[in-house]
Amino acid sequence: MSDRPARGVDPRRNTVGAQLARLGFSDVERVAATMSRLGLLPPPDGAAPAGPAEPAGPAAGLAVNVIIGELAASADADLALRCLERLVEAQPAGAQPRLLPALADNPGLRRRLIAVLGASSALGDHLVAHPLDWMILAPDEATAGPSDQAAIRRGLLRAVGADPAAAVPRAREDGVAVLDALRLAYRRALLVLAARDLTGTVSLDDATAELADLAGAALDAALAVARAGASPADVPVRLAIIGMGKCGGRELNYVSDVDVLFVAEPAADHGPGALGEPGAPGEPGEPGDHPGVGAPPDLEATLRAATRLAEGVVRVCGTSTAAGELFPVDVNLRPEGRHGALVRTLESHRAYYRRWARTWEFQALLKARPVAGDLELGARFGEMIAPLVWTAASRPDFVTDVRAMRRRVERSLSRFEADRNLKLGPGGLRDVEFAVQLLQLVHGRADAKLQVAATLDALDGLRRGGYVGRRDAAGFADAYRFLRVAEHRLQLQRLRRLHTLPRDPGELRWLARCMGLPGAAELEDEHRRVTRTVRSLHEKLFYQPLLEAVARLSAGEMRLTPQEAADRLAALGFAQPARCLRHIEALTNGVSRTAVIQRRLLPAMLPAFADAPEPDAGLLAYRQVSEALGRTPWYLRLLRDSAGAADRLARVLATSRYVADLMTRAPESVRLLRTEEELRPTSREAMVRTLLAVSRRNPEAADAVGRARAVRRVELVRIACADLLGLLDVGAVGQALSDAAAATVEAALLVARRRVAGGDDEALPVRLAVIAMGRLGGRELSYGSDADVLFVHEALPGTPQPLAARLAADVIGELHRLLALPGPDPALALDAGLRPEGRGGPLSRTVEGYAAYYDRWSLGWEAQALLRAEPLAGDAELGARFCALADRIRYPSALPAGTIAEILRLRGRMERERVPRGVDRAMHVKFGPGGLTDVEWTVQVLQLRHAHRVPALRTTATRACLRAAATAGLLAPAQLSALDAAWTLASRVRNGVMLTSGQRGDLLPGVAPGLERVARALGYPADEVDQLPGDYRRAAARAHAVALDVLGREQ
**Domain chopping of the chain, boundaries:** 16-224, 392-535, 895-1050
Residue 296: pLDDT band with limits 50, 70, 90:
low
Who contacts 870 (Cβ-Cβ below 8 Å, separation ≥6)? 771, 772, 777, 778, 779, 883, 956
Give the whole-angstrom CA distance, residue 51 versus residue 70: 12
In the 8-state DSSP scheme, what is residue 456?
H
In the 8-state DSSP scheme, what is residue 48?
P
Give the whole-angstrom CA distance, residue 547 versus residue 123: 51
Q: How do 766-772 and 787-795 pair as beta strands? A: antiparallel
Residue 231: pLDDT band with limits 50, 70, 90:
confident
Residue 538: pLDDT band with limits 50, 70, 90:
low
Q: Which pLDDT score, from 0 to 100, does residue 416 have? A: 53
Average of per-residue pLDDT across 555-577: 76
Give the whole-angstrom CA distance, residue 979 versus residue 959: 9
Q: Which pLDDT score, from 0 to 100, does residue 132 have? A: 96
Q: Measure Cα distances from 212 to 152, 217, 252, 367, 423 in Å.
A: 11, 9, 5, 12, 18
For 895-1050, which CATH class?
mainly alpha
Least confident of 403-407, 695-699, 862-866: 403-407
Chain-centroid distance, C-alpha 652: 18
Residue 443: pLDDT band with limits 50, 70, 90:
confident
Q: Which pLDDT score, from 0 to 100, does residue 281 have? A: 30
Residue 717: pLDDT band with limits 50, 70, 90:
very high
Least confident of 321-325, 737-741, 769-773: 321-325
- Specify whether the CB–CB gap between 290 and 283 falls below 8 A: no
Least confident of 46-55, 466-475, 646-655: 46-55
Give the whole-angstrom CA distance, residue 51 versus residue 28: 18
Q: Which pLDDT score, from 0 to 100, does residue 807 have? A: 96
Residue 725: pLDDT band with limits 50, 70, 90:
very high
Average of per-residue pLDDT across 898-924: 86
Please state, rounded to an integer, the average pLDDT across all residues of the chain: 88
Q: Which pLDDT score, from 0 to 100, does residue 158 have? A: 97
- Inform me whether the pLDDT recorded for 188 exceeds 90: yes
Give the whole-angstrom CA distance, residue 348 versus residue 316: 26
Average of per-residue pLDDT across 408-426: 72
- Inform me whether the pLDDT recorded for 285 exceeds 60: no
- Inform me whether the pLDDT recorded for 275 exceeds 60: no
Residue 469: pLDDT band with limits 50, 70, 90:
confident
Quick one: CA dihedral 169, 173, 175, 179, positive or negative? Answer: negative
Residues 768-804: pLDDT tens digits? 999 999 999 999 999 988 899 999 999 999 999 999 9
DSSP 3-state of 836: coil
Residue 903: pLDDT band with limits 50, 70, 90:
confident
Average of per-residue pLDDT across 718-734: 97
Question: Percent of the chain, pLDDT > 90?
Answer: 66
Q: Which pLDDT score, from 0 to 100, does residue 43 have? A: 64
Q: Which pLDDT score, from 0 to 100, does residue 424 have? A: 85
Q: Which pLDDT score, from 0 to 100, does residue 542 have? A: 67
**φ and ψ at 261, to 5 degrees?**
-120, 155
483: amino acid identity, one letter: L
> Would you say how long the chain is, in residues?
1051
- Per DSSP, the residues of 706-762 read HHHHHHHHHHHHHHHHHHHTT-S-HHHHHHHHHHHHHHHHHHHHHHHHHHHHTS-GG
Average of per-residue pLDDT across 540-567: 64
Who contacts 946 (Cβ-Cβ below 8 Å, separation ≥6)? 953, 965, 968, 970
Q: Burial code of 67-79, b = ≥16 C-beta within 10 A, e = fewer?
A: bbbbbbbbbbbbb
- Inform me whether the pLDDT recorded for 990 exceeds 60: yes
- Tell the CATH topology of 392-535: Four Helix Bundle (Hemerythrin (Met), subunit A) (1.20.120)
Give the whole-angstrom CA distance, residue 653 versus residue 655: 6
Residue 368: pLDDT band with limits 50, 70, 90:
very high
- Inform me whether the pLDDT recorded for 169 exceeds 60: yes
**Number of neighbours of residue 607 by Cβ within 10 angstroms:** 17
Q: Which pLDDT score, from 0 to 100, does residue 1013 have? A: 94
Residue 286: pLDDT band with limits 50, 70, 90:
very low
Q: Which pLDDT score, from 0 to 100, does residue 307 have? A: 97
Q: Which pLDDT score, from 0 to 100, does residue 1008 have? A: 79
- Inform me whether the pLDDT recorded for 232 exceeds 70: yes
Give the whole-angstrom CA distance, residue 399 versus residue 12: 64
- Inform me whether the pLDDT recorded for 955 exceeds 60: yes
Give the whole-angstrom CA distance, residue 503 versus residue 1047: 60
Q: Which pLDDT score, from 0 to 100, does residue 287 have? A: 37
- Inform me whether the pLDDT recorded for 477 exceeds 90: yes
Return the H-helix or E-strand segment holding 791.
strand 787-795
Least confident of 49-63, 159-173, 505-519: 49-63
Give the whole-angstrom CA distance, residue 939 versus residue 1041: 14
Rg (CA), the chain: 39
Q: Which pLDDT score, from 0 to 100, does residue 396 have? A: 75
392-535 and 895-1050 share one fold: yes
Q: What share of the chain is helix, strand, coil (3-state, %, to 5)?
A: 60, 5, 35
Q: Which pLDDT score, from 0 to 100, does residue 594 have? A: 87
Chain-centroid distance, C-alpha 436: 18
Strand partners, 1021: none
Q: Which pLDDT score, from 0 to 100, does residue 556 have? A: 40
Q: Which pLDDT score, from 0 to 100, does residue 415 have? A: 56
Residue 569: pLDDT band with limits 50, 70, 90:
confident
* More confident: 740 or 540: 740
Q: Which pLDDT score, from 0 to 100, does residue 580 have? A: 94
Who contacts 1047 (Cβ-Cβ below 8 Å, separation ≥6)? 900, 904, 937, 938, 941
Q: Which pLDDT score, from 0 to 100, does residue 235 have? A: 87
Residue 973: pLDDT band with limits 50, 70, 90:
very high
Average of per-residue pLDDT across 315-330: 94
Q: Which pLDDT score, from 0 to 100, does residue 47 have? A: 47
